[in-house]
Amino acid sequence: MQRADSALMILMADDDEDDCFLVESAFREIGIAHDLRFVDDGQQLLDYLYNKGDFADSDKFPKPNLILLDLNMPRIDGREALPIIKSDPQLRDIPILILTTSGEELDIALTRQAGASSYLSKPDTFADLLDLLSKFCVAILQNPDVPFQVIGC
């Protein structure tokens, strides 16, 4: 799902400001002019996708080209939000990359089954983060059907 007229938009759902900062820094460093937006939890993510509440204006809050989803979040967490999105025909085509600190086998299995594109463990170093994002985000934006991979667990 590419939009020719504007830059690709990536929505990151994570309550950790540091991680958001690091990812933003990484994207900036990678040098791709992406529109990167943030929501704090699963509830906000769903509100954004369904243009509810603060995100009612669909022009201002268009559908993202990629979602970076953390699993451990307040209110509705990533584990709950993922199957909701993936079971909605309007939303299921948006590729979702899991970016989390959880290395649980169960989380990996469930998210894979729910339709996540790949499962990435948040790396320890900035260099690894740069490496990971440049590799996976670009690949998925170009071809959403890349095989499911688990990195860093």
Partner 1 sequence: MEKREPTREDLLEKIRTLEERLLESEQTIQAIRGGEVDAFIVHEPMGEQIYTLKGADHGYRVLVESITEGALILSSDDSIYYCNRTLGEMLGLPIQKIISRRLDSYVASEGREQLMALIEESRRSGTAKGEFLITRNDGTLLPVNVSLNCMSFEDFEGVCAVITDLTEQKQVQEELRRHRTELEFLVNERTADLQHEIIERELAEEALRKSHDELELRVRERTVQLEKVNKALIVEMQERKQNVENVKAERQRFYEVLETLPVYVCLLTQDYHVPFANRVFRERFGESRGLRCFEHLFGRSEPCEVCDTYKVLKTMAPHQWEWIGPDSRNYSIFDFPFTDTDGSSIILEMGIDITERKQAEAELSATITRLELLNAELQEFAFIASHDLQEPLRKIQAFGSMLITRHKDGLNPQGQDYMGRITKAANRMSELLRSLLDYSRTGTNQLNYGPVSLTEVAGEAASDLEWLIHKAGGCVEIGELPTVDADAPLLRQLFQNIIGNSIKYRKESEQPVVKIYGKITDATCQVMIEDNGIGFDECYSQKIFRPFERLHGKNAPYSGTGMGLAICKKIVDRHGGWITARSIPGQGATFIVALPAKQQKGA
Query: What distance lies between CA 91 and its chain's CA centroid?
Result: 13
Using DSSP, how many helices (H) and how many strands (E) does the chain show?
5, 6
**Contact in structure between 135 and 119 (CB atoms under 8 Å):** no
Q: How far is the CB of 104 from partner 1 (least distance, A)?
A: 9
As a whole number of angstroms, the distance between CA 40 and CA 18 comes to: 12
- Chain contacts with partner 1 (rule: CB under 8 A): 16, 18, 22, 25, 101-103, 122-127, 129
Q: How far is the CB of 50 from partner 1 (least distance, A)?
A: 30
Nearer to partner 1, 1 or 153 (CB): 153
Beta bridge mates, 39 = 13
Nearer to partner 1, 34 or 122 (CB): 122
Q: How far is the CB of 127 from partner 1 (least distance, A)?
A: 6
